[in-house]
Amino acid sequence: MNKRIFVTGTDTNVGKTFVSAALLYALNKKGLSTLGLKPLASGCEKHNGRWENEDALILQEASSLYAPYEVINPIAFPDAIAPHLAAKNKNYRLSVEGITKELHTGLALESDVTLIEGAGGWYVPLNEKEFFSDFAVGLSLPVILVVGLRLGCINHALLTVAAIKQAGLPLVAWVANCVDPNMRRVSSNIDTLKNAIEAPCLGVVPYLPSAKPQEAASYLDSSILV
């Protein structure tokens, strides 16, 4: 088995990395080999002479298959802003072709499941004409959607689901991630999403402000993916 899946979110800061790492740990427990990739990251710090992103490091740690940092995250920018703007600050032009080429080594590694995390939401621009979602389309990747449970999440989730369908990609599953501890009627919102989204829910991750992804793994049914 060599399954590659693209992980996107309803917005930025909805817990894509947290959920992706939790899924990797859950799959690891099943004895599967795993790899987490983050092709593009903005908001990095200089370490040992290179720019490193915290999310990419989390994915690297959660992966059962070791890969050097530059394989996990080949494109990294220091500014914590939209990737195309961070790239412009470094006189770097992002493109689907460029990202695919830079990620070639990571994609060539043999693992049972490889999770490829996007940046922000579905329609994050790379340049004047391309979005990060076009990268997933180019590789015909199935998609997992992380829904950040907060006010407005139903609209954001259903718009994203529609966009994924329009792109011709299969939505294999989604995850409800409770990011707002003060959200009202959480269960009712989840029920609405389950009725509206024609894909299985991998699980509901409760609000875990200080938890590690290993702890969140128990809330996810990774068997749906395999």
194 catalytic per annotation: no
The 3-state secondary structure of 17-57, one letter per residue: HHHHHHHHHHHHHCCCCEEEECCEEECCEEECCEEECHHHH
Q: How many CB atoms lie within 10 A of CB 175?
A: 28
Task: Give the whole-angstrom CA distance, residue 176 versus residue 193.
Answer: 9
Beta-carbon contacts of residue 162 (< 8 Å; ≥ 6 apart): none
Catalytic: which of 16, 30, 38, 88? 38
Q: Which residue has the tokens 């609000």?
A: 207
H or E stretch covering 13: none
Question: Which DSSP category does 125 fall into?
Answer: B
Token readout for 151 is 């006010």
What are the helix (H) ranges across 40-152? 54-62, 69-72, 83-89, 96-102, 104-108, 132-138
Task: Give the whole-angstrom CA distance, residue 164 versus residue 143.
Answer: 8
The residue among 119, 99, 101 whose CA lies nearest residue 14 is 119
Query: Catalytic site residues?
Result: 38
